[in-house]
Structure 1
Amino acid sequence: MRRDISAEIERFPIAGSFRISRGSKTEAEVVTCTITEGQNTGRGECVPYSRYGESLDQVRGAIESVMPAIREGADRTAVIGLLPAGAARNAVDCALWDLESKIGGRRAHSDVCAMPPRPLTTALTISLGTPDEMAAQARSNAFRPLLKVKVGTEDDRARIHAVASSAPNSRIILDANEGWTPENIREHMLVAAEFKVSLIEQPLPQGKDEILRSIPHPVPICADESVHGPDDLEQLLGLYDAVNIKLDKTGGLTSAIILRDRARSLGFGVMVGCMVGTSLAMAPAVLLAQDADYVDLDGPLLLAKDRAPALAYTGSLVSPPDPALWG
């Protein structure tokens, strides 16, 4: 049966603003892929990221380039050969997962998870700001068991201190988004250890992180921008202790499963993370994250308005998706 496919740019307002070391944003800009076959419809959402040379129009154009193949029945394996890893392939891959689930009457988690999925504790992101601003954010979220704190400036000691003091019972992940330098990383690592930080994410720029091999890791270090697929992993041995898997980097759930399994086999810890998107983008990642060491799927918690239907968040617990949303 012939399929129909479309790609739509959508925008969802963020509650306040979201700021990291590279800049700030006030809305989530996403591309949604919809594939229909008969009475069944599958959807996938991606978030183009300029850090990787992506834009809304470029990603939508990439999806449009494979529409003839999708209409003729190209499956997820074929799509891996048609599109490079990245946001466009993620949207198409996840839409195909959703469609396959609905056509077959089989929940996606049956093929992703070793056991029935359960609610997971996700981190909540504290945006980069002044120490006082970040302390206020932390106090408002001090009830949450896990906070992900955006840093990445020349001197983050005061920020780390402010957040740790304002949320003393929360575990903390620091995310520098490539913002630290060889000159300040040792000091920042020691500060992180002093305040019992659990994990540090991508402290140095991709390709400029060789120093991580020769300095102590008093706090485990997680690769984000430095890892996109399984081919990246070998060169990260000795540099990083864990990897952050995001569907928008790997190019979908199909490739993310391969990356997760390969990372585990090499001894890396696993974080499953996200861009700032809606529940539709988080849904497949919730299934991938069932055995993750760290879960960072708080995109919908940062929005002023999510999709409907949406994932169910209870405090920091995110439940697996209902089929009406995805899978």
Structure 2
Amino acid sequence: MVHRLTLDVRAENFAYAKPFRIAGHVFLQSPVVEVRLSDGLHVGRGEGGGVFYLNDDVAAMTAAIEHARAAIEGGLSRAALQEALPPGGGRNALDCALWELESKASGVPVWKLAGLSPPRPLRTTFTLGADDPAVMARGAVETFPDARALKLKLTGDLDLDIVRVEAVRAARPDCWIGVDANQGYAIADLAALVRAMERWDIRLIEQPLARGREADLDGFASPIPIAADESILSLADIEAMPGRFDVVNIKLDKCGGLTEALAMARRARALGLGVMVGNMMGTSLATAPAYLVGQYCDVVDLDGPTFLAADRQPGIAYRDGDIECSDAVWGHLAA
């Protein structure tokens, strides 16, 4: 039976506690779109943060959602939503709202609807924005004293990036460390970067080259796994990853929701790829569905809410370097 739904869309801004820098960008806040879907008895929620490097901002997400409003309020299924809207933050917010609405209406938590085992706490990376090496080293100790895994943002300045990594590794010899270049390097400098990262026991190099330069990696052998982030948006991109990348970073805003993210994780595994889950910052409402994808993953990078001056409540818990998210945050019990 198809139920008539009511769709509410609101734009919100969540300020960061301090500026956050990556290659080519400095972020001060997280603009998001929150979707609420009601069947008259239950409300399902989803949050989209968009994809900044694709101009998928609040205006674009809102326009996509409004384009699908009539179909959504008419009872469009999650499967049909995948065809009705392209990947992006708008579809992500709608897809996650549909998952939670189904969960509440059925009394079954989303993890169970998705065929998952009860979620377990996950070791997550905590991210240090690109900064002066001494500042990053201090942050690794003072800001994230309980972290067991760190991710360092690089800028493409090889000499400075090496000093950054050296400083953080000296400060935190106990941590798993990965680096994220956010497309900051060219293939000509990649071998030198890899050699330096190997020297400092770096376990992952994320998106070293620009999106569109994936073919430059053909024949490039690295002793450190290389992860695709900007180079992989949705399920359609998965087949081109083997032989160029070792790991794929799945983000719900890129692929358009939990439904496709789960399909991507399963397909990546089938192709022999490592699986990583990340987020485009956002609040605990955006991170909670990604936490379920994290149950499949080798690397979990879900620290987005820790950057905010104030998160939604109830929020995700971070303890002893792990992330833990109850279904009271999203996915079943929340009002």
TM-score (normalizing by structure 2): 0.94
Mapped pair 1:58 → 2:60: yes
CA shift, 1:243, in A, is 0.2
- Which residue of structure 2 aligns with residue 27 of structure 1? 29
2:140 aligned to which of 138, 141, 146: 138
CA shift, 1:113, in A, is 4.8
Mapped pair 1:222 → 2:227: yes
The answer (yes or no) to whether the contact 1:33–1:44 under 8 Å persists in 2 is yes
1:312 aligned to which of 311, 317, 331: 317
1:174 aligned to which of 176, 179, 184: 179
- Which residue of structure 2 aligns with residue 16 of structure 1? 18
Q: In structure 2, do the counterparts of structure 1 residues 169 and 259 end up closer, same or farther at CA, with 3 Å as the change threshold?
A: same
1:198 aligned to which of 196, 200, 203: 203
Mapped pair 1:150 → 2:181: no
CA shift, 1:203, in A, is 0.4
Mapped pair 1:235 → 2:240: yes
- Distance of 2:115 and 2:183 partners within structure 1: 32
1:193 alignment partner AA: E
CA shift, 1:115, in A, is 1.6
SS of residue matched to 2:168: helix
Q: In structure 2, do the counterparts of structure 1 residues 256 and 183 end up closer, same or farther at CA, with 3 Å as the change threshold?
A: same
CA shift, 1:142, in A, is 4.5
Note the alpha carbon deviations across 1:151-210, whole angstroms, 9 max, x for none: 032221111111111111010010000001122111111111111111110000112132
The answer (yes or no) to whether the contact 2:288–2:329 under 8 Å persists in 1 is no
2:218 alignment partner AA: R
> How many percent of aligned residue pairs carry the same amino acid?
39
- Which residue of structure 1 aligns with residue 307 of structure 2? 302
2:260 aligned to which of 240, 246, 255: 255
1:123 alignment partner AA: T
- Distance of 1:308 and 1:230 partners within structure 2: 32
CA shift, 1:144, in A, is 1.0
1:161 aligned to which of 166, 171, 174: 166
CA shift, 1:231, in A, is 2.0
- Distance of 1:164 and 1:158 partners within structure 2: 10
Select between 224-233 and 194-203 the one with higher mean Cα deviation.
224-233
SS of residue matched to 1:271: strand
1:106 aligned to which of 102, 105, 108: 108
1:94 alignment partner AA: C
- Distance of 2:255 and 2:206 partners within structure 1: 18
- Which residue of structure 2 aligns with residue 76 of structure 1? 78
1:45 alignment partner AA: E
The answer (yes or no) to whether the contact 1:44–1:93 under 8 Å persists in 2 is yes
The answer (yes or no) to whether the contact 1:202–1:222 under 8 Å persists in 2 is yes
Note the alpha carbon deviations across 1:47-106, whole angstroms, 9 max, x for none: 022201212111111111111111110011111111001111000000000000000111
CA shift, 1:284, in A, is 0.7
The answer (yes or no) to whether the contact 1:142–1:167 under 8 Å persists in 2 is no
The answer (yes or no) to whether the contact 2:32–2:49 under 8 Å persists in 1 is yes
The answer (yes or no) to whether the contact 1:309–1:325 under 8 Å persists in 2 is no
- Which residue of structure 2 aligns with residue 207 of structure 1? 212
Q: In structure 2, do the counterparts of structure 1 residues 296 and 324 end up closer, same or farther at CA, with 3 Å as the change threshold?
A: closer
Structure 2 unaligned residues grouped into runs of 5+: none
Structure 1 unaligned residues grouped into runs of 5+: none
The answer (yes or no) to whether the contact 1:280–1:325 under 8 Å persists in 2 is yes
- Distance of 1:209 and 1:78 partners within structure 2: 31
1:157 alignment partner AA: I
1:242 alignment partner AA: V
The answer (yes or no) to whether the contact 1:230–1:263 under 8 Å persists in 2 is no
The answer (yes or no) to whether the contact 1:152–1:203 under 8 Å persists in 2 is no
TM-score (normalizing by structure 1): 0.97
- Distance of 1:53 and 1:128 partners within structure 2: 23
The answer (yes or no) to whether the contact 2:284–2:329 under 8 Å persists in 1 is no
SS of residue matched to 2:188: coil
- Distance of 2:266 and 2:329 partners within structure 1: 28
- Distance of 1:68 and 1:58 partners within structure 2: 18
Following TM superposition, where does structure 1 have runs of at least 4 consecutive aligned residues deviating by more than 4 angstroms? none
1:286 aligned to which of 284, 291, 297: 291
- Distance of 1:233 and 1:66 partners within structure 2: 27
SS of residue matched to 2:187: coil
Note the alpha carbon deviations across 1:262-281, whole angstroms, 9 max, x for none: 10000000001111110000
Mapped pair 1:36 → 2:41: no
